[in-house]
Structure 1
Amino acid sequence: MRYLSANDIKTFFSMRNAIDADTEALSLYSSGRADIPLRTNINIPEYNGQSLYMPGYVSGADPSLGVKIVSVYPDNIDKKLPSVPATMITLDAQTGIVNAILDGTYLTQLRTGAVQGAATELLSNENSKTALLIGTGGQGMAQLEAMLTVRNLDKVFVSDLDMDRAKKFCETATLNFSEVFSTIFEPVANPNSVVSEVDIITSVTTSKRPTFDGTLVKQGVHVNGVGAYTPEMCEIPVELLKQANHIVFDTMDGVLSEAGDIIQPLKRGDISKQEISGELGQVINQNIAGRSSEKDITFFKTVGTAALDVVVADRIVKKAEEMKIGMEL
């Protein structure tokens, strides 16, 4: 069995690798090749905790099997421990034997950034030059890297509720990416000041109200809704959804049961299910059309699926075995 830390994974598995793995995972998911049971949630009231178990199996030429364990223990902060520790366990699909343990926190950041990257690559205009990132939390840097990986961007504006945080994020991004990308990172106090000029918008927040004005977006924009993952959260403006020519999800079942961005406007009758194009995997498999014109407005919503975790983790483990990276137990 192999143990792979976040640092181990970073040395050999790139964002490009993760985007390719996510693309494969969603293609298989939309082809009916994934068995993803409902998440099991266990409450631990004595310690103000909750433990979540997300298993999955994706079949195909290179099958993937595993389970991600995520715990939510807010009081861990007082113990100087992570409040949301996560671990990924992979199994050999042919034998059912556990073959690796991975840092689940980094895996989640990587595959979530990568699924947005896959959508941006498929749905945004190829000549996109400017982007806006809203939200600089734990997912922010991976979201930024994914956009930079799939599009040759001249400038990315960065917005956060805390302007100092946005400035520091831009400084870190410059340190992280200046040797690979020539992109300029610019903090903005109000996202609406640049919404009308950007080609790509990625919002990754837990906001319960829209993070930008949907009436200001230009023709041809591509928007990613990454952050809101409960029925109460709603970071995407309904005006954007009404204008969108293509509304695409990572998984229909997941988004329609979890994402307030879609659940709330559907309940109000602001949009109908008939206006939803389908899943990104269907675009990948060419079962439905993606962008058909440079002027199309496209929207992608993700809430995540264990299919992404198991496929990306499996590809990481196989590559680590080839390169003899990680700790063998």
Structure 2
Amino acid sequence: MINLTKQDVKDCFTMRDAIEADKEALAHYSKGQAIVPLRTNIDIATRHGQALFMPGYVEGEKDALGIKIVSVYPDNVQKGLPSVPATMIVMNPETGMVSGMIDGTYLTQLRTGAVQGAATELLSRPDAKIGALIGTGGQAECQLEAMLTVRDLEEVRIFDLDFSRASAFAEEMALKFGVRMVPVETSEACVTDADIITSVTTSKRPTFEARHIKRGAHINGVGAYTKDMCEIPKEIIKDADVVIFDTTDGVMQEAGDFIQPLEEGFVNENQYNGELGQLINGEIKGRQLEDEITIFKTVGSAVLDVVTASKILEAYQKKSKN
């Protein structure tokens, strides 16, 4: 059985590889070729922890099977351990045998950045030059890398509630990617005139105002994953020309910023156009005009984990033979 660390994955699998894997995963999902049960959440009350189990199976040219185990143990910080450790178990779909384990924390960051990258590639204007990133937590670097992988951006504004953290992140990323990174002190400065906006926070209120978004912009909502979280303002959702989800079931169960305006009657279901997999499969349309505002929302799905993990393992094995 193969056990891959974060560095092992980085050595054999690129962001571009992950973007293509996520496209394939969502295309199969939207065709009904995936089995993704609701995740099992076991509350370990005596230890102030939770254990989450996220299985999935995808039937395709190459089947993919596996389960991601994510634990949430806040007290681990005091023990010098990760508070949210994660492991991806890859299984052989022909035999049911476990064929490998992958660092689940990095896998989650990679496939989440990649699904945003896939949406940005399919929905944003090809001539986009200015990016905006709101939030500099653990997901931020992969989100930034994905935007830079699919679009030739000249500048990315970085906003965080902690300006010193935004500045440190911007400095580090400028050195890593060789692109101008501009830390800003307000979300208005971040999103004004931006072509691509990615918000990756756990905020319970919108991270920017709709009136600051220009025509032709593409917006990614990545961070909010509960009914009380809300990154994307309802006004821009109503004004948007195209609104697409990673999985409709997932977003409609978990994403507060899209559930709340629907329940309030501020928007109707017809304003939600469908899934990214449907766009990839040619079943629905995305951006048609340069001045359209497009929105993509992701809450994640085990289908992304199992397909990406399977391809990572395949890439590692191929590299090891050469």
1:232-311 alignment to 2 at 5 Å? 232-311=228-307
> Which residue number corresponds to residue 148 of structure 2?
148
1:216 deviates by 1.6
Answering whether residue 226 of structure 2 is matched by residue 230 of structure 1, we say: yes
Counterpart residue number, 1:193: 189
Counterparts of 1:232 and 1:176, CA distance in 2: 35
1:60 corresponds in structure 2 to: 60
Q: Paired residue for 1:324?
A: 320
| CA shift for structure 1 position 194 | 4.1
Instruction: Report which stretch shifted further, 168-177 or 303-312.
Output: 168-177
Aligned to 1:28: 28
* Per-residue deviation, 1:35: 0.3
Is the contact between residue 243 and residue 295 of structure 2 (CA under 8 Å) also seen in structure 1? Answer: yes
How far is the alpha carbon of 1:324 from its aligned partner?
Answer: 1.7
| Unmatched 5+ stretches in structure 2 | none
Cα displacement (A) at 1:193: 2.1
Paired residue type of 2:10: K
Question: Post-superposition shift, 1:46?
Answer: 1.1
Distance in 2 separating the partners of 1:293 and 1:321: 43
How far apart, CA to CA, are the structure 1 residues paired with 2:176 and 2:267?
A: 40
State the shift of 1:175 in Å.
Answer: 2.4
> 1:2-57 CA distances to partner (integer Å, 9 max, x unpaired)?
00000111111100000000000000000100000110000111111100000000
Please, what TM-score do these two structures have when normalized by structure 1?
A: 0.97
Partner of 1:40: 40
Question: Which amino acid is 1:17 matched to?
Answer: D
User: What percent of counterpart residues are identical?
Assistant: 57
**CA distance in structure 2 between the partners assigned to 1:320 and 1:278 by the alignment:** 34
SS at match of 2:71: strand
Pair 1:68–1:194, CA change in 2 (3 A): closer
Instruction: Determine helix, strand or coil for the equivalent of 2:287.
Output: coil
Residues in 1 aligned to 2:149 and 2:289: alpha-carbon distance in whole angstroms: 22
Q: CA RMSD in A?
A: 0.8
Structure 1 runs (4+) deviating above 4 angstroms are none
Amino acid at match of 1:257: Q
SS in 2 for 1:241: helix
One-letter code aligned to 1:192: E
Equivalent residue number for residue 97 of structure 1: 97
How far residue 195 of structure 1 moved from its aligned partner, in angstroms, is 2.2
Opposite residue 174 of structure 1, the aligned amino acid is A
Moved more, 268-277 or 316-325: 316-325
Give the CA deviation at 1:98: 0.4
1:220 is matched with which residue? 216
Residue 242 of structure 1: how far off its partner (Å): 1.1
Aligned residues: 321
Aligned counterpart, 1:120: 120
What amino acid is aligned across from residue 283 of structure 1 in structure 2?
L
Q: Distance in 1 between matches of 2:276 and 2:93?
A: 25
Aligned counterpart, 1:11? 11
Alpha-carbon separation, structure 2, partners of 1:61 and 1:254: 25
Q: Return 5+ residue gaps in structure 1 as ranges.
A: none
| C-alpha separation in 1, matches of 2:190 and 2:59 | 43
How many angstroms does 1:177 deviate by? 1.4
Secondary structure of the 1:187 match is strand
